[in-house]
């Protein structure tokens, strides 16, 4: 006797689940890098975008950050130093989406990174994965500082010995 199992309910569940798949949280495998370059007059001079693939899910290592900084600190034959490092990470749960949209509820997903160390991103809803950013703000370094202010330089100090003094070797008697 062959008994047929009714597995239609499993197929229906899978179909319904596929509709909501975009609202489940998942690991982050890439982050958008946004570079903002500010000149000496405090004007935004250039904005550059780049996609960065993470070597580990949800994590940018310290070495990767340092490499990004090294590669992006020179732009258009000018040198820039890092002014600010910001992380934009959507941490909303799937239950919060409806309330967020209907009530226009304000949420703050932006945080300041104070130390250059490994940056961790929280899991994000699949539908909002492409909104996660790492924003790097650079400020142009000044080359004219030494010319304008003569006191803003290191003074050389020479240490010497007096030519009139001679070292005398003492002899010890047994």
Q: Rounded to an integer, what distance in angstroms lies between the CA atom of residue 26 and that of residue 126?
A: 6
CATH of the domain at 90: 3.10.20
pLDDT digit string, tens, across residues 94-150:
667 666 666 666 678 899 999 999 999 999 888 888 899 999 999 999 765 445 555
Name the strand (E) or helix (H) holding 139.
strand 133-140
Residue 110: inside a domain = yes
Residue 32: inside a domain = yes
Number of structural domains the chain divides into: 1
Cβ atoms of 88 and 110 within 8 Å: the answer is yes
Q: What is the pLDDT of residue 146?
A: 47
Residue 51: inside a domain = yes
Residue 97's domain comprises: 20-145
Residue 169: inside a domain = no
pLDDT digit string, tens, across residues 52-108:
999 999 999 999 999 999 999 998 889 999 999 999 998 877 667 666 666 666 678
Q: What is the pLDDT of residue 174?
A: 56
Q: What is the pLDDT of residue 76?
A: 86
Residue 141: inside a domain = yes
Residue 164: inside a domain = no
Measured over all CA atoms, what is the biggest interatomic distance in the chain, rounded to whole angstroms? 119
Residue 30: inside a domain = yes
Helix (H, G, I), strand (E, B) or coil at 129: helix
Q: What is the pLDDT of residue 162?
A: 57
């Amino acid at each position: 006797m062959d008994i047929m199992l009714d597995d239609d309910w499993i197929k229906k569940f899978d179909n319904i689940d596929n509709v909501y798949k975009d609202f489940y949280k998942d690991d982050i495998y890439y982050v958008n890098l946004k570079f903002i370059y500010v000149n000496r007059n405090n004007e935004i001079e250039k904005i550059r975008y780049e996609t960065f693939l993470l070597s580990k899910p949800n994590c940018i290592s310290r070495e990767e950050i340092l490499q990004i900084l090294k590669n992006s600190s020179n732009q258009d034959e000018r040198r820039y130093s890092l002014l600010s490092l910001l992380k934009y990470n959507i941490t909303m749960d799937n239950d919060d989406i409806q309330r967020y949209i209907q009530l226009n509820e304000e949420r703050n997903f932006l945080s300041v990174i104070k130390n250059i160390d490994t940056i961790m991103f929280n899991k994000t809803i699949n539908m909002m994965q492409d909104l996660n950013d790492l924003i790097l703000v650079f400020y142009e370094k000044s080359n004219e500082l030494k010319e304008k202010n003569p006191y803003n330089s290191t003074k050389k100090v020479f240490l010497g010995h007096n030519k009139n003094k001679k070292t005398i070797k003492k002899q010890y008697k047994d």
